Homo-oligomer: A and B are copies of this chain.
Amino acid sequence: MDSLGETIRKLREDKELPLRTVAAYLDIDQAILSKIERGQRNASREQVIKLAEFFKIKETDLLVSWLSDKLVYEVADEDVALKALQVAEEKVKYQKQKK
């Protein structure tokens, strides 16, 4: 149930790597990576894919973590958050079926 940030911070600390190293791989300033790890900034899709590659974990898992973070952020502070998520789920299921 970790956020994307928490996940990659743990991975990075397990390997005892400085922000600098991972940031260089992503080709961004370490300041941004610091903010991503602490949930202050959103990562881009491409950055998530590179992170999965770097840490050798399943891309899909990290994308789910990233996308769900964005969804949680979108409904934050809304009373109807849960309801909206459930309705969105139904809408997506319906669309899928239509194809």
Interface residues of A (CB under 8 A from B): 1, 3, 60, 63-65, 67-72, 74-75, 78-96
Contact = CB atoms under 8 A, between A and B. Distances in A.
Main secondary structure of the interface of A (DSSP, over half): helix
Top 8 A-B residue pairs of the complex, sorted by shortest distance between their CB atoms: A67-B84, A71-B88, A68-B87, A68-B88, A68-B84, A85-B89, A64-B80, A72-B91
Contacts of A85: 68, 71, 85, 88-89, 92
Q: Copies per complex? A: 2
Contact of A75 (B1, B71, B81, B90): B71
Given A64-B80, A71-B71, A85-B89, 11 more contacts: A63-B84, A67-B75, A67-B84, A68-B88, A69-B88, A70-B74, A71-B88, A72-B88, A72-B95, A74-B74, A82-B92
